């Protein structure tokens, strides 16, 4: 968590949800060698694949040197949370905590629509204001990563970029060693746990970066993270599930299929704002019998949450919404407030580029502001910008910040195509393409020896005022644009105990749906 996420004084001390996207444009710097928060073009797709699991089956799990939690964060049993949250501070919407985040907000269901006890809910919970793509009701994707990969710390959580606040930065997370057959069976059981909502489970291939999804790393050991001893760990306290791209872990390899699924579903549940509860028959129960032969599910009644040494990391405000008591949690009501019921999604998303105008002309050195207007009938959609210069793709970057705006700086002269693409959780897409031109600073001269346009030079490149053709050159954004990095150096997390005996079952076909593309 960065210093921008503060404990604030509202009706009571509260913490702004640290998982909400940053409220600043994405900056793309086209200078040769410039460092962008996310590379202009995705790197090559390397590493292990699901079909390679057989080569890793049965390998021993290697314990590494333990990691260290950042200052200001505490581990309560299996949970890692900010100190203020551990002491009972509610986690509230950033629209109440940081009003500037509310720019370009859209309206959605609020406390009166979602809560059985709206009068009990603290200020800043279920405000009914959302950034584009985060609206309720929402559809979602859970990606079960059995193939490991290199993870990076220090930039918050971003499943698409392998950023995890719980990772040991630069370390290679190991491949799952339980084998392909068991991996498929576990995925089937996890899908069954989330079958009551529009949440699909995939594992054969990674979803495209433009699509928001939660990623759970399957296998490994707790020492592959900065968390302490546990059977699983996840970012916790993401109340109202604003993160969309969180990364969590299930340290399971040879345990029974039911136990692996129980741990995995619990960790994913934590990323969606659920805490530990009492009871030995439900996914979110703390300290459940990990040798139990049953595949547990989510609790459908208000159940006491677990406290450790008099402290807790629960989503107090959300719990009051559904149970009239911050110390009780109803798993199904909490998930149902965010996620739509299952069913087909037949309405494709839409997107348009609203700035600059098609055919706009800029001068070398101008900053170009590209603004979007995306829409879908369900939240959970994402969008990106693709830039071609003289026919060659030179940038392909997702708007992880969800600010609907990119700032393009230091663009060399040339003819450009700017394409906005939006994708929803049914993999339906829409695109909108415009063309712009960036002219060189050395304009051709006339026969009189004067540069063309001397008497009618546009001032838009310096002031942002409209040029003759109506185009504007946007102001440069402050900072470098940390796409998707929540205001967090380390996200709060929950870890869960796991032991068990091997078992296996076969199941197939949880692959991604085929793309359906629609052009304007």
Strands (E) in 306-391, as ranges, are 328-329, 350-355, 360-363, 368-375, 382-389
In a domain, 137, yes or no: yes
Task: Please give the Cα distance from 397 to 383 (Å, whole number).
Answer: 9
Tokens for 484, please give them. Answer: 């998707």
Question: What is the domain extent for residue 147?
Answer: 16-78+128-298+484-519
**pLDDT tens figures, 64-100:** 988 887 777 777 666 677 788 888 888 888 776 666 6
**pLDDT tens figures, 304-363:** 988 776 677 789 999 999 999 999 999 999 999 999 999 999 999 999 999 999 999 999
Tokens for 336, please give them. Answer: 């149902």
Task: Please give the Cα distance from 379 to 107 (Å, whole number).
Answer: 12
Task: Please give the Cα distance from 116 to 129 (Å, whole number).
Answer: 19
In a domain, 61, yes or no: yes
The pTM (predicted TM-score) of the whole model is: 0.84
Domain count, the chain: 1
The fraction of the chain above a pLDDT of 70, given in percent, is 78
Specify which residues 297 forms β-bridges with.
282
Q: pLDDT: is 475 or 232 the higher one?
A: 232
In a domain, 443, yes or no: no
> Are residues 131 and 402 in contact, defined by beta-carbon separation less than 8 angstroms?
yes
Tokens for 321, please give them. Answer: 């919404």
Cβ-Cβ contacts under 8 Å for 392 (sequence gap 6 or more):
none
CA 306 to chain centre: 27
In a domain, 353, yes or no: no
Q: What mean pLDDT do residues 224-239 have? A: 88
Helices (H) and strands (E) in the chain, counts: 8, 27
Indicate the SS3 state at residue 258. helix
User: Which among 236-245, 442-451, 464-473 has the top mean pLDDT?
Assistant: 236-245
Task: Please give the Cα distance from 417 to 368 (Å, whole number).
Answer: 13
**pLDDT tens figures, 142-177:** 999 999 999 998 788 999 999 998 998 878 999 999
> Are residues 329 and 274 in contact, defined by beta-carbon separation less than 8 angstroms?
yes
In a domain, 135, yes or no: yes
Task: Please give the Cα distance from 54 to 57 (Å, whole number).
Answer: 5
In a domain, 515, yes or no: yes
Burial class (CB in 10 A: 0-12, 13-18, 19+), 431: middle
Does the pLDDT value for residue 289 go beyond 70? no
Where is average pLDDT lowest: 200-214, 239-253, 387-401, 494-508? 494-508
Please give the full DSSP string across 38-62, using - where no structure is assigned. Answer: S-SSPPP--S--GGGGGGGTTPPPP
Task: Please give the Cα distance from 339 to 358 (Å, whole number).
Answer: 37
């Amino acid at each position: 968590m960065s210093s921008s996420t503060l404990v604030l004084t509202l009706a009571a001390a509260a913490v702004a949800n640290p998982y909400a996207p940053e409220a600043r444009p994405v900056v793309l710097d086209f200078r040769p060698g410039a460092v962008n928060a996310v590379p202009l073009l995705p790197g090559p797709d390397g590493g292990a694949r699901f079909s390679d699991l057989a080569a890793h089956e049965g390998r021993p799990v290697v314990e590494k040197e333990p990691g260290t939690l950042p200052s200001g964060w505490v581990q309560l049993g299996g949970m890692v949370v900010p100190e203020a949250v551990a002491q009972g501070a509610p986690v509230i919407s950033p629209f109440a905590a940081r009003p500037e985040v509310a720019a370009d907000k859209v309206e959605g269901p609020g406390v009166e629509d979602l809560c059985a006890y709206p009068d009990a809910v603290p200020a800043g919970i279920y405000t009914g204001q959302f950034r584009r793509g985060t609206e309720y009701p929402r559809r979602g994707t859970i990606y079960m990563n059995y193939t490991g990969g290199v993870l990076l710390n220090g930039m918050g959580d971003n499943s698409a970029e392998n950023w995890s606040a719980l990772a040991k930065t630069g370390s290679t997370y190991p491949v799952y060693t339980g084998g392909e057959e068991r991996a498929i069976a576990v995925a089937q059981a996890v899908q069954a746990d989330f079958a009551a909502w529009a949440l699909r489970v995939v594992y054969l291939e990674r979803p495209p970066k433009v699509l928001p999804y939660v990623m759970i790393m399957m296998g490994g050991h707790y020492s592959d993270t900065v968390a302490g001893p546990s059977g699983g760990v996840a970012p916790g306290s993401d109340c109202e599930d604003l993160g969309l791209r969180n990364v969590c872990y299930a340290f399971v390899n040879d345990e029974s299929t039911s136990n692996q699924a129980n741990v995995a579903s619990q960790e994913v549940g934590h990323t969606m704002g659920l805490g530990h509860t009492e009871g030995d028959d439900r996914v979110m129960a703390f300290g459940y019998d990990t040798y139990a032969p049953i595949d547990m599910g989510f609790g459908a009644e208000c159940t006491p949450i677990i406290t450790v040494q008099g402290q807790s990391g629960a989503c107090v405000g959300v719990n009051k919404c559904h149970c009239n008591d911050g110390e009780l949690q109803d798993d199904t009501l909490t998930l149902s407030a965010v996620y739509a019921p299952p069913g087909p999604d037949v309405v494709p998303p839409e997107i348009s580029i609203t700035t600059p105008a098609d055919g706009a002309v800029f001068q070398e050195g101008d900053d170009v502001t590209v603004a979007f207007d995306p829409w879908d009938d369900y939240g959970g959609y994402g969008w990106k910008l693709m830039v071609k210069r003289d026919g060659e793709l030179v940038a392909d970057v997702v708007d992880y910040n969800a600010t609907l705006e990119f700032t393009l700086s230091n663009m060399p002269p040339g003819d450009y195509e700017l394409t906005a693409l939006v994708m929803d959780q049914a993999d339906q897409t829409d695109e909108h393409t415009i063309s712009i031109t960036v002219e060189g600073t050395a304009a051709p001269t006339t026969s009189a020896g004067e540069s063309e346009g001397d008497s009618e030079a546009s001032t838009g490149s310096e002031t942002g005022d409209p040029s003759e053709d109506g185009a504007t050159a946007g102001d440069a954004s402050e900072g470098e644009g940390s796409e998707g990095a929540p205001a967090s150096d380390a996200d709060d997390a929950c870890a869960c105990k796991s032991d068990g005996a091997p078992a296996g079952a076969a199941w197939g076909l949880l692959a991604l749906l085929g793309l359906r593309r629609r052009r304007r």
